[in-house]
Structure 1
């Protein structure tokens, strides 16, 4: 059930304790992909994953702004501090647990959110009566994960499959030629760059031309299957905390 479309009485009558919260970012993704890429892909994977489970699951509205100050030189990018993000996501999750949805999977579409979401899951699980775990879709697509960049082949492919009208196809060549091959500027295993504009002229990392619609379809299948397995595991898990040793 999508909370956006439901009434409060619809929610009251549900018999489930499992919920999904999509989380993304509003940030630059090169000249060819929309600022909402991370939200759109998180929602697409969440919805496809829910279609694969034979149980009722609440689908919360997506959280559209994340930790993205590293893209601040590119107009349109929005961000909040890690502290604000953690508090906001945690409180949003806890509002669901208040209504009895105490098993939460956070479906993430933005790399900058990963560490903070793991902290949120730990805090919710250790300090309350709920269990929360983050799932980042591009970490769950097998060998494709090695090609994850930024506005690169994976995100472009998934957009071409799910939201083809939002990809500026006439800018793909520009996106490819002005992008970087890898994320960051590395010396002695240390990343010297804090902002993406230090190593990519147009915000792209990777070759978006290598992400066609067929690949996007495969990515969605892999990510959705992974999410469905996780949802089943969370639904069946003993979420009580271990005793002190």
Structure 2
């Protein structure tokens, strides 16, 4: 059930104790993809997962701004500090817990959020607010995960499948021409670059031309299937063992 379109009586009658919260970012994705790509893909995966599960699950509104200062040189990018982000996500989950939602999956679409979301999940779980786990969709698509860049083949493919009108097809060549092959500048296993502008001319990492709509459809299927398995595991997990030791 989508909380944003439901009434409070609808939510109360469902009495769901499991929820998903899409989490993304508003940041550059090259000249061809929208700033909201991470939100759009997180929402698409969350919705596709809920369509495939027979469990009663609440779908919270997406959190659209994350930890993204690494893209600060590109106009339109927005970000908050990791501390602010952790607090916001935590309090959003705590508000769900207030209404009896004891288990939450954070469906994430932005790599910069990963560490903070893991910390949020651990804190909420250890404090007894709600058993909370993060799920990053592009880490859950099998062998495709190796191609994850930024505004590259995976994100472009999924966007071409779920939001094709937002992909500027006439800028794909420009995007690939200014793209970096990989994330960062590495020496002695250390990334010397903190911001994407230091190693990518236009913010893109990877070749967006390798991400067509057919691949995007496959990515959505794989991510949704992974999310359904996770929802089952979270719903069925006995979390009392950790609390009792």
With the length of structure 2 as denominator, give the TM-score of the two structures. 0.98
**Whole-Å Cα distance in 2 between the matches of residues 129 and 27 of structure 1?**
31
Deviation at 1:12, TM superposition (A): 1.1
Q: Which residue of 2 aligns with 1:175?
A: 175
**Residue 112 (structure 2) pairs with residue 112 (structure 1):** yes
**Whole-Å Cα distance in 2 between the matches of residues 72 and 123 of structure 1?**
29
Q: Which residue of 2 aligns with 1:160?
A: 160
Deviation sequence 1:161-207 (CA, Å, 0-9, x none): 00000000000000001010000000000000000000001000000
Q: Which residue of 2 aligns with 1:131?
A: 131
Count how many residue pairs are aligned between Structure 1 and Structure 2. 245
Deviation at 1:244, TM superposition (A): 6.5
Alignment of 1:6-21 (within 5 A): 6-21=6-21
With the length of structure 1 as denominator, give the TM-score of the two structures. 0.98
Are the counterparts in 1 of residues 157 and 215 from structure 2 also a CA contact under 8 Å? Answer: yes
Q: Which residue of 1 aligns with 2:45?
A: 45
**Whole-Å Cα distance in 1 between the matches of residues 90 and 24 of structure 2?**
15
Deviation at 1:241, TM superposition (A): 4.2
Deviation at 1:242, TM superposition (A): 2.4
SS at match of 2:105: strand
Are the counterparts in 1 of residues 94 and 129 from structure 2 also a CA contact under 8 Å? Answer: no
Q: Which residue of 1 aligns with 2:5?
A: 5
**Whole-Å Cα distance in 2 between the matches of residues 64 and 188 of structure 1?**
35
**Residue 27 (structure 2) pairs with residue 27 (structure 1):** yes
Are the counterparts in 1 of residues 149 and 206 from structure 2 also a CA contact under 8 Å? Answer: yes
Q: Which residue of 1 aligns with 2:186?
A: 186
Are the counterparts in 1 of residues 126 and 243 from structure 2 also a CA contact under 8 Å? Answer: no
**Whole-Å Cα distance in 1 between the matches of residues 43 and 16 of structure 2?**
20
The structure where helix makes up a greater share of residues is 2
**Whole-Å Cα distance in 1 between the matches of residues 32 and 243 of structure 2?**
52
Moved more, 151-160 or 124-133: 124-133
Structure 2, unaligned runs of 5 or more: none
Deviation at 1:6, TM superposition (A): 0.6
Deviation at 1:14, TM superposition (A): 1.1
**Whole-Å Cα distance in 2 between the matches of residues 200 and 129 of structure 1?**
41
Structure 1, unaligned runs of 5 or more: none
Deviation at 1:129, TM superposition (A): 3.9
Q: Which residue of 1 aligns with 2:228?
A: 228
SS at match of 1:104: strand
**Segments of 4+ moved more than 2 angstroms:** 241-245
Q: Which residue of 2 aligns with 1:93?
A: 93
**Whole-Å Cα distance in 1 between the matches of residues 107 and 244 of structure 2?**
31
Moved more, 121-130 or 18-27: 121-130
SS at match of 1:194: coil
